[in-house]
Structure 1
Amino acid sequence: MARIGNLLFAFFACFLVSVRGAPTDLENRDFIGDIINVIGLGLVTQINSYITFSQRSCDIFRLVNDRAGQLTWMNHLVKNPLIMELTIDRVVSSAGVNGTVYAKFDHTFAKPVTVGALKTVNSGRVPNVLLVKGALNSLDIIPLGKLDLISTDVYLRAATINGKLGVPVPIKGLKQKDVPTK
């Protein structure tokens, strides 16, 4: 009787291991991002974008004639709705209007952005934001005063202490409509 029990236990254990090891689409889903999107939490409260160029003729020529691929820089205000500190290490984002992407970037912070419990902070300068339609073609969205975060992946650590340690939590596929933009 003990041998049959051991055999059944071994069979059941192998079954569980094989089922757990089988790839599924659920493993590739980011439930945290889905939940944040469904409840409309919104982690970004403001976007500030800056197009800078000198008055040298080559910069003015580039502004007028480049239709795509110009770089700019930006910063954004990030809010933490949790009662624990969050530290943001990297952000990959695309932003635009009505599903059309105007800007995108992939930025790893040299000094991670620490957001205290229930606080809002400025991300600091995020360089190399690509204006995919060029600066001149992006000017049309300025009067709107808002951008949609079409797809944003945030690599952060939760429950940090002054930006140190913490539990890594990648949040992928965040979306946010009508973020105030200057």
Structure 2
Amino acid sequence: MLLYVVAFCLLAVSWANDCQVANIQVMQNFDRTKYVGSWYAVGKKDPEGLFLLDNIVANFTITPDSKMTATALGRVIIFGHWEVCAQMFATFEETPDPAKFGMRYWGIAAALQSGNDEHWVIDTDYENYAIHYSCREVAADGTCHDSYSFIFSRHPDGLRPQDQQIVTTKKNEICLLGKYRRVSHNGYCENSENFYRQ
């Protein structure tokens, strides 16, 4: 029994060291000009609290003054029962690492989100898949207490088979393997009657 407890404690310490937010590797030589355009969320690790549920499509752009922005559409339930398609808008602040951005939400997004998050690009081939990660709160041991993550595809019908293994490996590297749920696309946000307008 003692041996089991010791082994469990060593495993926990190893996990805490491997899963520290500061140790998470992001995309090397990230090129935001190749990242722009539409991405369909096909997998999602949820954070604490209210968030987009499904039918999520993000569109990244670069403004004339070289700032990156994003809009996102997705189904959300507000006040516990009001089902709508919300449009969200975010602006990005650059950091010394090209694959890490500070992200600020505006409009309804500021109410649905914490208002300020991070947008880390863990990996992408720009043409088929992208893995996003955000840690909202770092725990005392350096691991993430409240994170969320999206698996994006350029294709609304999901990831290509050849991308699945890459994405699974990256999920494991950011300590979120087994914590994602599938994001469906059933056309809900294509109906203008379902939009929330401020």
Which TM-score applies when normalising by structure 2? 0.28
Q: Which has the higher strand share?
A: 1
Which TM-score applies when normalising by structure 1? 0.30
Q: Which has the higher helix share?
A: 1
